[in-house]
Structure 1
């Protein structure tokens, strides 16, 4: 009798369990109004403690993660390392209310030596006075001063640990300090922030120092003067160049093709490092002036309706016409020439020897460059470091050898068994290369253009 009395109770409990299981297996929408469905949804929800707590070893997320930008008043003449990622911007230590002090932290996949060499070269070529450039137990430090402003580049010797968020590489600090007068924009450097249309710091397209206020030379002005002496230039410091290179600078200056980026400057600064934009500007101007009577030999300038080839050289860049024209003609590596990875031009980066020849040889030869190997360059030039030359530049270097004593390498660097392909080029060396255009005696020099 007792067992019969308990059976309804057991059946009732089994029914409830079965009903719960059925509800759990059905779409939640069908059980949405039941207490069991609400409890089941809560069991599937992520633990809020897991979403609010950062993973061990990683920084807590913030609304600005991945969107760090330089302040709007960050001086435009401070060079940014090409491809470096901005990680953090903070007031520099030791700053006060009478000065602008900013410290920015960057990360790059390049080596300490590459970063150090870049800043040493680019600061010297942009008239910064180097106060310190030496390694220390904690890393490399470069301190420079210009117009009352001080810039310090600190590069640690020990790279930071790699994380999933930050790949392997090195970090370095850019610490800038200037008086309130300089920071307010009264100096020529920071005045470019408000008046220069070139992309500003913080813009994804900005990768280097901007031209100073007034430094907006147009390639069209110097590329095709009405006569050889119409735009003649006079430089007061040509005597500072190596003796073997002075005549090349003098001839090109008489043609008016060595625009230095400052209309009032009487100095060429022959021993300063040439930038990629300067060389591109001079290359087009020199070629088009020397061949002013041969339209078929001229390099056509880019026009404002062209779609920019490089994302860091927009239409309003002062050297857009020359750089775009070189790319459109297939004379420099770009997506147009099949190099899909070359999407930036890095206009303010130092010009290297291999790039100097890579851009010039096609203008000399005016036909397909010969196939080349490291062994072929070693056998012809005798370069001990031929294996360090970029594969694209090997063909240009070999083609240049065929020009004999008129080769660009011999004219700029003299006799050498070391090419040093990654070494930066001086303005005097770049001028020497641009003094003559042609191959195997069939060409014209700046001197020839002056007497025509």
Structure 2
């Protein structure tokens, strides 16, 4: 990662005087001396660890970060090059107890983000000095103040004011899931025809699955803990969907670096596609047992005219979904169709319809079944 960012910065700054910005700084040890005079800080920084204070940097200001009062933003100046500051914080975030979770280069700035069990620290360095001084900010947020992970399911039935906007064939499924209280949304609107994000779908999937098996702890997905090392770089512990995404990835049902089947980024805000819904849900329907399959097999069973457009990671799941017959996700959500449209975004109503039943066709549970169970069994 570090070498990649170095090449990126050098390539974008030819002739700017920053060509050697990421090169090793032979004078890095001497930047601790002779700081310029400055006004004493107006507020103490006792909550920022001493090892995260650049040597002899002068604190210019301390204030709550705009829009995030729980975050303290400190502004510093020092008579040292930006590369020395960047190397310093890279080393600190790679030491025991810290994790370097992000490093980015933009126009005239470099930013780093580090995290341990107590703090998240974001360093932003201005690479253009002023009066031989380099300015940088260190913003830190206590993680101990973060709320505890949400419970795996709620028990309060939900009422949506826009339920009638749901396509008629999908309304019964949405009503059943709403009665179970598993479709978490802000306010009382479902927005059934709006594409669902990848992060929100995982939240619904894990919540629904655990609600169905609330009387069988051995079958439930364990939620991620905020002290876990994040599986995905773009889903930190303070992300609202972290417990669900982290938990499903750690259980091996999401392609991730842990399983060796996915990259370091999850893209939680991106729209969920049809093939991805199947790729994530069908392994839970089949309890992880998916046989290797091919596009030819899908064409022989489903007969999709666009089978060739299915991404390779989703092929086994699409093929296995056929085994559930009329209870398959594809038939229940999209009906009789000769086109899968694998990259088409999934709406919230369609996502709910897919979650209405979890099982392989011969063994499984539906939301209608679960809501009829006595409280002690659900």
Q: What TM-score range do you get, normalising by the shorter chain?
A: 0.5 to 0.7
Alignment pair present for 1:438 and 2:352: no
Report the CA distance between 1:220 and its aligned residue: 2.9
**1:68-217 maps to which residues of 2 (within 5 A)?**
none
Conserved 8 A contact 1:381-1:417: yes
Moved over 6 A (4+): 64-67, 201-206, 216-219
Q: C-alpha separation between the residues in 1 aligned to 2:21 and 2:164?
A: 50
The residue number in structure 2 matching 1:384 is: 305
TM-score (norm 2): 0.62
Query: Structure 1 319/58 Cα, relative in aligned 2: closer, same or farther at 3 Å?
Result: closer
The Cα offsets for residues 36-90 of structure 1, whole Å up to 9 and x where unpaired, read as: xxxxxxxxxxxxxxxxxx99x99642559999xxxxxxxxxxxxxxxxxxxxxxx
Alignment pair present for 1:251 and 2:181: no
The residue number in structure 2 matching 1:335 is: 257
Conserved 8 A contact 2:149-2:225: no
Report the CA distance between 1:219 and its aligned residue: 6.5
Q: C-alpha separation between the residues in 2 aligned to 1:335 and 1:381?
A: 31
The Cα offsets for residues 316-355 of structure 1, whole Å up to 9 and x where unpaired, read as: 211111001100110010011112x511110000101110
The residue number in structure 1 matching 2:153 is: 224
Higher Cα Rg: structure 1 or 2? Answer: 1
Q: C-alpha separation between the residues in 2 aligned to 1:249 and 1:218?
A: 28
Query: Structure 1 298/196 Cα, relative in aligned 2: closer, same or farther at 3 Å?
Result: farther
Aligned residue-pair number: 258
Which ranges in structure 2 are unaligned for 5 or more consecutive residues? 1-9, 23-64, 73-101, 114-121, 123-145, 374-378
TM-score (norm 1): 0.52
The Cα offsets for residues 227-274 of structure 1, whole Å up to 9 and x where unpaired, read as: xxx3211101011011001111111111111111x2xx1110000010
Report the CA distance between 1:406 and its aligned residue: 0.3
The residue number in structure 2 matching 1:22 is: none
Equivalent in 184, 189, 203 of residue 267 of structure 1:
189
Q: C-alpha separation between the residues in 2 aligned to 1:269 and 1:63?
A: 49
Report the CA distance between 1:315 and its aligned residue: 1.4
Q: C-alpha separation between the residues in 1 aligned to 2:349 and 2:66?
A: 29
Which ranges in structure 1 are unaligned for 5 or more consecutive residues? 1-53, 68-189, 207-215
The residue number in structure 1 matching 2:315 is: 394
Report the CA distance between 1:441 and its aligned residue: 2.5
Aligned residues: CA RMSD: 3.2
The Cα offsets for residues 398-438 of structure 1, whole Å up to 9 and x where unpaired, read as: 11000000001111111111111111110000000111111
Conserved 8 A contact 2:283-2:317: yes
Q: C-alpha separation between the residues in 2 aligned to 1:306 and 1:62?
A: 41
The residue number in structure 1 matching 2:345 is: 424
Query: Structure 1 378/195 Cα, relative in aligned 2: closer, same or farther at 3 Å?
Result: farther
Conserved 8 A contact 1:217-1:318: no
